[in-house]
Amino acid sequence: MSAVDNNSPVRTTTSSDQIASNGKTDAAGLSSMFLELLVAQISNQNPLNPMDGTEYVSQLAEFSSVESLENLNIQSGEQIKYMQSMQAMEATSLVCQKVDVKADTLSLEQDDTVEGAINLGAKVDSVVLRLYDSKGVLADEMTLDNPAIGTVRFAFPEQQAGAYSIQAEVQLNNSKQQVPTYLTNEVERVSVGTGPDDIILQVNGLGNHYLFDINQLSKTTQS
């Protein structure tokens, strides 16, 4: 009896046991494995009942499809690695640049101004910004009348070193509503891991933040 049955189809799947037995995991390994199986099948076919040529064509078509998918997976993996490298390079270029991060607390190591922004999606009458010290005492307050829709920047004058919290409240007619704040400071250090979620920025006085949590690069504050 022949080692390979003439009527048994050649397996062209990419199961881990087949690839492992061949010792390769790329498209070249798959190609080598398929050719070995095909040659074995041809060599051991029954000469009195040879395989129909259409079966070879069908098997070659199936393998071509599998090989194309494997090549696509390899290319996709390389593109992902390239994008991650570009993201890491972009992140390291942010060191010493000012960025906006979503936060309502900060720590001043020395006397300094407190800068930030809020995002307005609709027209409001005014925005009231309040700055509190570590004891909850109001340290400063400002009102921005008729602010434009979009990113509205603010800056409190120089404050003493210490911990602070900030609160932003929009007013429209007789209603009031608190909105999130984005605080601004320089990036001190960038930690890069193996993936995009591992890129962390250490922002002066604002702690650690993921790269994708950055609202935007800070622009010159408008008074």
- Can you give the pLDDT at residue 155? 95
The CA distance from 115 to 157, in Å, is 9
- Can you give the pLDDT at residue 113? 94
Structure tokens at 26: 């790329």
What pairing do the DSSP bridges indicate for beta strands 162-172 and 105-108?
A: antiparallel
Q: What is the pTM of this model?
A: 0.57
- Can you give the pLDDT at residue 223? 41
- Can you give the pLDDT at residue 48? 64
Chain mean position to CA 20: 32
- DSSP 8-class letter at 80: H
pLDDT in tens, the chain (223 residues): 444 444 444 444 444 444 444 444 455 666 667 667 767 766 776 666 666 656 666 766 676 676 677 667 766 666 666 565 666 666 677 788 899 999 999 999 999 999 999 999 999 999 999 999 999 999 999 999 999 999 999 999 999 999 999 999 999 988 999 999 999 999 888 887 665 567 888 899 999 888 777 777 655 444 4
Helix or strand or coil: residue 70?
helix
* Length of the chain counted residue by residue: 223
What pairing do the DSSP bridges indicate for beta strands 112-120 and 150-159?
A: antiparallel
- Can you give the pLDDT at residue 184? 93
- Can you give the pLDDT at residue 34? 67
Residue 217: CB atoms within 10 Å = 12
